Amino acid sequence: MEALVVAEPNRLEIQEVPVPRPGTNEVLARVRAVSICGTDAHLVRGDYPGFWPPAFPFTPGHEWAGEIAELGPGAARYGWQVGDRVAGTSHDACGVCQKCVEGRYNLCENYGREGLHRQYGHNYQGADATYVVQGVKTIFRLPDGLGFDEGALIDPASIALHVANRGGVSPGDTVAITGAGAIGLLGGDAALIRGAGRVIVIGRGLRLGKAAALGFETVDALAADPVAAVRELTDGLGADVVLECAGVPETVQWGLGTLRRGGRCAAVGIPTAGVEIPMQRLVLDELDLVGSRASAGEMRRVMPHVAQGRMRVGEMITHRFPLRDYARAMSTFNDRDSGAIKIIINP
């Protein structure tokens, strides 16, 4: 089969490799669509050396959809059949540590331990290939009426719902979102699903234009001080909840700065540099700052919203490329002037 191989940071190759074989409680799936995630761009650049991935060469890709081509031993016990249409997610956790037992498998305490935990496309081979092997805990039946391209975005949709859940969005809340990428825009839909009264997206360029087209209020970070602008829009009070979806030190500071007293910021972006936190205000205004990692059960819960159009994943797709053009696809993804939000790779 064909597979994308990152031989070393910033060196991509399409190689012919053996089709993997599914083990116990695993399936082999024919990948029909896989989307590029911001984490993929970091991984290709080598921004997380020794962690994501543990070593090169490596095949990334963790947001995908396809159909089951072969069942490994035991997989049929869980109701899977060859030909089933599925969407995949990345965390294949141990299932027995305290965090897994409590349902927070995204925080598996055996993360990365051989034989106990895999995160596909991060610390284990991913789906940028013709076929992928994944465990039965990480695949979900694709709703009828959803195509594979949309199915590949169910994983990021679940991440967006998780950050809105971590933010504790309540009915009537004013929610500010830093970052107008896919997670930020889907986070806006997730906030509305949870009952937000207003969603204000802070960003710039073509992506911010997309936020406006989706009906969100917008703040152009290049045209005004985002903190002042959000406060002006909220009668000086600030936002009840901030979803920090950019992962840049400056946007984290904007997010905390826009919070109302007693507000809560849920951060899903992962900065690659240090962030200065205003601790005095954090304490005196009783602000909450919480992390949000991947998703923890939201794949199943987000699917009806995707199928019914409340989580608008199809609106995120801006470009499509075949696998052999992955390098060009990644270049397009990294070019802010391209307008790229979600790029679909069709192996």
Question: Does an H or E element contain 177, and which?
Answer: strand 174-178
Nearest to 139 by CA among 47, 218, 40, 28: 28
> Same structural domain for residues 201 and 319?
no
d(CA 257, CA 227): 6
pLDDT of the residue at 19: 98
Nearest to 196 by CA among 215, 222, 223, 219: 215
Report, as an integer, the average pLDDT of 298-302.
97
| Residue 328 binned pLDDT confidence (cut-offs 50, 70, 90) | very high
Are 43 and 326 within 8 A, CB to CB? Answer: no
Dihedral sign, Cα of residue 164, residue 168, residue 173, residue 178: negative
The CA-atom distances, in angstroms, between 96 and each of 78, 113, 122 are: 18, 13, 21
Are 227 and 205 within 8 A, CB to CB? Answer: no
pLDDT digits 0-9 by tens, 252-272: 999 999 999 999 999 999 998
Q: Establish if 86 belongs to a structural domain.
A: yes
Residue 88: Cβ-neighbour burial (10 angstroms; 0-12, 13-18, 19+)? buried
Dihedral sign, Cα of residue 164, residue 169, residue 171, residue 172: negative
Mean of per-residue pLDDT scores for the chain = 97
Q: Establish if 56 belongs to a structural domain.
A: yes
Report, as an integer, the average pLDDT of 12-40.
98
For residue 102, the domain's CATH number is 3.90.180.10
Are 178 and 202 within 8 A, CB to CB? Answer: yes
User: Which 8-state DSSP code applies to residue 259?
Assistant: E
For residue 253, the domain's CATH number is 3.40.50.720
Q: Final residue of a domain: which of 291, 321, 338?
A: 291
% of the chain surpassing 70 pLDDT: 100
Alpha helices in 153-307 (DSSP H): 154-167, 182-193, 205-213, 226-233, 249-257, 279-284, 298-307
pLDDT digits 0-9 by tens, 82-97: 999 999 999 999 999 9
Q: Establish if 302 belongs to a structural domain.
A: no
d(CA 217, CA 146): 28
The CA-atom distances, in angstroms, between 72 and each of 31, 115, 191 are: 17, 16, 39
Report, as an integer, the average pLDDT of 104-133.
97
> Same structural domain for residues 9 and 83?
yes
Residue 46: Cβ-neighbour burial (10 angstroms; 0-12, 13-18, 19+)? middle
> Domain tally for the chain?
2
pLDDT digits 0-9 by tens, 155-177: 999 999 999 999 999 999 999 99
> Same structural domain for residues 216 and 236?
yes
Bond preceding residue 57 cis, omega within 30 of 0: yes
11-16 vs 2-8, strand pairing mode: antiparallel
Nearest to 295 by CA among 128, 144, 160: 160
> Same structural domain for residues 259 and 336?
no
Residue entry with tokens 């199943």:
300
pLDDT of the residue at 132: 98
d(CA 217, CA 32): 35
Report, as an integer, the average pLDDT of 86-112.
97
d(CA 151, CA 35): 10
pLDDT of the residue at 272: 85
Provide the residue range defining the domain that includes 278.
159-291
Q: Establish if 45 belongs to a structural domain.
A: yes
| Residue 248 binned pLDDT confidence (cut-offs 50, 70, 90) | very high
Length of the chain: 347
Beta-carbon count within 10 A of 271 CB:
15
Report, as an integer, the average pLDDT of 236-240.
98
> Same structural domain for residues 321 and 221?
no
